Amino acid sequence: MSVKHSLLVLLGDGDRYGYELRAEFEQRTGGVWPLNVGQVYSTLERLERDGLVLRAAAGDERQVRYALTEAGRAEVGAWWATPVPVANVGRDDVALKIALAVTSPGVDAGAVIHEQRRAVMTSLQELNRTKRASTDAAWDLVADALIFRAEAEIRWLDHTEQRLSLTRSKAGLPAAAPRRSVAASEAEAAR
Amino acid sequence: MTAAPDASPVLRLRDVAKTYGAGEAAVAALTGASLDVHGGEMVAVMGTSGSGKSTLLAIAGGLLAPTSGEVEVAGRPLATLSTRRLAAVRREVIGFVFQDFNLLPSLTALENVALPLDLGGASTATARSEARRALATLGMRERARSFPDELSGGQRQRVAIARAIVGERRLLLADEPTGALDSVTGEHVLEALRERADEGAAVVLVTHDARHAAWADRIVYLGDGRIVDETRAARPESLLSGGVQ
């Protein structure tokens, strides 16, 4: 997530104090990414150093208001015009772990998949329940993003499990490993 | 939301097996599935194609007899019922929601919803007023006089759900109820099912879609003809404390 660009976007609507920026950021993004005020100020310092913001005339000595510079405005324009980089293929932690499980003798990859699916499914249920109870449009939008991603992960896990079981049955192995915990199959492998 | 553990389940399946065909050609769709669903509870059934999901639902609804095992609906063992009594349980206790709506094109929305009550021998006035009430709970009061071909896909599915809940139906069985609906309309259908569960019905939802299953209190996975995995809803306070990234 780009804190830098988020702050620049907020400053595009008018000059703000650090505390105001934090509050507005959380309100406009559904409060999903808690931002501490220290992070806001350190980011503002960097933005100032890079000439993207400047300290506006301070009405109160203890509070500093920040304003967007022309360069800052151009940076925001460029950010809207550029897609968020798509994650590099192959750097997915879950894919990595399951790839290792599949190629490790004695590890029940099916059990690893079940544990992962259970965890994602549980969080999907929680997201769904929170969304149902919510009246915050910003949070709904963010919740939907998380819901669709969790769904995609489960579809991929199901797909992988099915492929794995087809490969096993072609190789004359039992079609599906009996369901059991990862710990149990590791203990068995250790024996 | 979930019924007290000592309350008897609305749906009770015990070691249910179903084999299609015989001898060499026999195919085991279910090999021993057990499942309890209480009033106020929504359970999603997931599994790959051919894992026995739809067979399970058909058996739970008394549309199909199991090869072995027990099925109880609202305390009645279905195997002991005469054909007539079984038909009455299906009509009075169980509501079905299918992917393709199954509405009769020559009847209005209201007449479609009233149909199960008409068939059950209710007076026309009672059937109509119950049907009107069911349509209203799904936000379809205004469309009561419309014919199915005058309704959108989402509206037709709401009528189908109204028909499934009309009267005092305690068990709702839904097989991929969102079908080809777009995702926002599909969400409204799930919302309607969820509300029925929150009002005390037992709801079983067969789906291959994890996003839909997430509306349920419990999610069971079918594999090799039996239930092989289960996810229960966790406590809401753990949300986002290291959940989905």
Q: Which of B212, B213, B245 is nearest to B231 (CA)?
A: B213
B205 and B87 part of one domain: yes
Average pLDDT value for chain A: 83
- The confidence score (pLDDT) of residue A1 equals 54
* Degrees, nearest 5: CA angle A170-A174-A175: 65
Distance of CA A167 to the CA centre of its chain: 32
Q: Considering the domain boundaries, does residue B120 fall inside one?
A: yes
Provide the number of CB pairs (under 8 Å) joining chain A to chain B.
Answer: 72
- Per-residue pLDDT of A113-166, as tens digits, reads 988 999 999 999 999 988 888 888 888 898 999 999 999 999 999 899 888 888
pLDDT confidence band for B51 (50 / 70 / 90) = confident
Backbone angles phi, psi at B147, to 5 degrees: -90, 155
Residues of B in contact with A115 (CB under 8 A): none
Torsion of CA B49, B176, B230, B217, to 10 degrees: 170
* Chain A residues interacting with chain B (CB cutoff of 8 angstroms): 32, 114, 117-118, 120-130, 132, 146-151, 154-155, 158, 162, 175-176, 179
Q: Considering the domain boundaries, does residue B244 fall inside one?
A: no
Provide the number of structural domains found in chain B. 2
Domain A3-81 - what CATH class? mainly alpha
B45 and B139 part of one domain: no
- Per-residue pLDDT of B156-188, as tens digits, reads 888 988 898 888 789 999 998 887 778 888 888
The DSSP bridge partners found for residue B19 are B28
B2 and B80 part of one domain: yes
A179–B229: do the CB atoms touch at under 8 Å?
Answer: yes
B155 and B60 part of one domain: no
B181 and B126 part of one domain: no
Domain that holds residue B66: 1-93+168-233
A149–B211: do the CB atoms touch at under 8 Å?
Answer: no
Q: Which of B4, B243, B144 is nearest to A122 (CA)?
A: B243
Report how far residue B72's alpha carbon sits from residue B55's, in angstroms, rounded to the nearest whole number. Answer: 16
- The confidence score (pLDDT) of residue A91 equals 62
B192 and B78 part of one domain: yes
User: Residue B42 above 90 pLDDT?
Assistant: yes
Q: Considering the domain boundaries, does residue B177 fall inside one?
A: yes
B172 and B159 part of one domain: no
Range of weakest confidence among A183-187, B177-181, B238-242: B238-242
Summarize the confidence of residues B86-109 as an average pLDDT: 87
User: Residue B207 above 70 pLDDT?
Assistant: yes
- The confidence score (pLDDT) of residue B57 equals 94
Domain boundary among B163, B189, B208: B163
Q: Considering the domain boundaries, does residue B98 fall inside one?
A: no
Q: Considering the domain boundaries, does residue B78 fall inside one?
A: yes
B211–A151: do the CB atoms touch at under 8 Å?
Answer: yes
- The confidence score (pLDDT) of residue A174 equals 56
Nearest to A125 among B191, B229, B234 (CB): B234
CB-based contact (8 Å) between B25 and chain A?
no
B153 and B174 part of one domain: no
Q: Considering the domain boundaries, does residue B183 fall inside one?
A: yes
B239–A154: do the CB atoms touch at under 8 Å?
Answer: no
Report how far residue B75's alpha carbon sits from residue B93's, in angstroms, rounded to the nearest whole number. Answer: 11
Average pLDDT value for chain B: 87
B2 and B87 part of one domain: yes
B107 and B176 part of one domain: no
Q: Which two tokens stand for residue A81?
A: 């015009």
Radius of gyration of chain B (CA): 18
Among A120, A123, A158, A180, most B C-beta atoms within 10 A, so best to mutate, is: A123
Say which CATH number the domain at B20 has.
3.40.50.300
Q: Considering the domain boundaries, does residue B243 fall inside one?
A: no
User: Residue A100 above 90 pLDDT?
Assistant: no
- The confidence score (pLDDT) of residue A165 equals 82
B123 and B188 part of one domain: no
- The confidence score (pLDDT) of residue A184 equals 47
B67 and B9 part of one domain: yes
Q: Considering the domain boundaries, does residue B149 fall inside one?
A: yes
Domain boundary among B130, B146, B163: B163
